[in-house]
Amino acid sequence: IGSAAGWRIENDRLIITDAAGATMLVFEVEEPVPIAGTSWTLLSLAGENGTMMPVLADATVTATFSADGSLGGNAGCNHYAADYTVDGANLNIRPTTQTEMYCMEPEGIMAQEDRYFVLIADVTTYRVEGDRLILMDSTGADILVFEKTVPAPDLPLVGTDWVLDGYRTDGD
């Protein structure tokens, strides 16, 4: 690359040339990694000053991009859903709907969740770097960083220890 003297674009390829015009390097446009059918866990989010902050300890924020164009997950306290579209690296997430619970713990969870919903509404593009999904705003700033979720194995009904997660007492 140190002896590169010129460049040109042909058929969506960037061609780097030497002083004699001979081709030295050829680059192709990298297609974004598809996100449909993937699940992610939030690692960090942009604070109001733009500085990335880690997710609160004992709080799990998730995002699942279904193949049908729906996005859903848990924002730490509340579950949410939205529709999304992808065009290249452009990502449009429509306004979310969410449950309306209030959680006291961990401390700061509701402020973090409010910030998450503000940021997810600002997403315009994305990139995937290894096992990380980075969502960016219209200025190209990273605003949400996720780690790929390892899918849980399908557990059999028989031979698996189950713990009661919830129940209803209203008779319905």
pLDDT value for 103: 96
Eight-class DSSP state of 170:
S
- How far apart CA 15 and CA 20 sit, in angstroms, is 13
Q: How far is CA 30 from the centre of its chain?
A: 19
Instruction: Please tell me the pTM assigned to this model.
Output: 0.74
Tens digits of residue pLDDT in 112-148 = 999 999 999 999 999 999 999 999 999 999 999 999 9
Asked whether 120 and 133 are in contact (CB, 8 A), the reply is no
Judged by average pLDDT, the poorest of 21-30, 41-50, 96-105, 162-171 is 162-171
- How far apart CA 43 and CA 145 sit, in angstroms, is 6
Tens digits of residue pLDDT in 60-82 = 999 999 999 999 999 999 999 99
What contacts 15, CB < 8 A, 6 or more positions away? 7, 8, 9, 23, 25, 26, 27
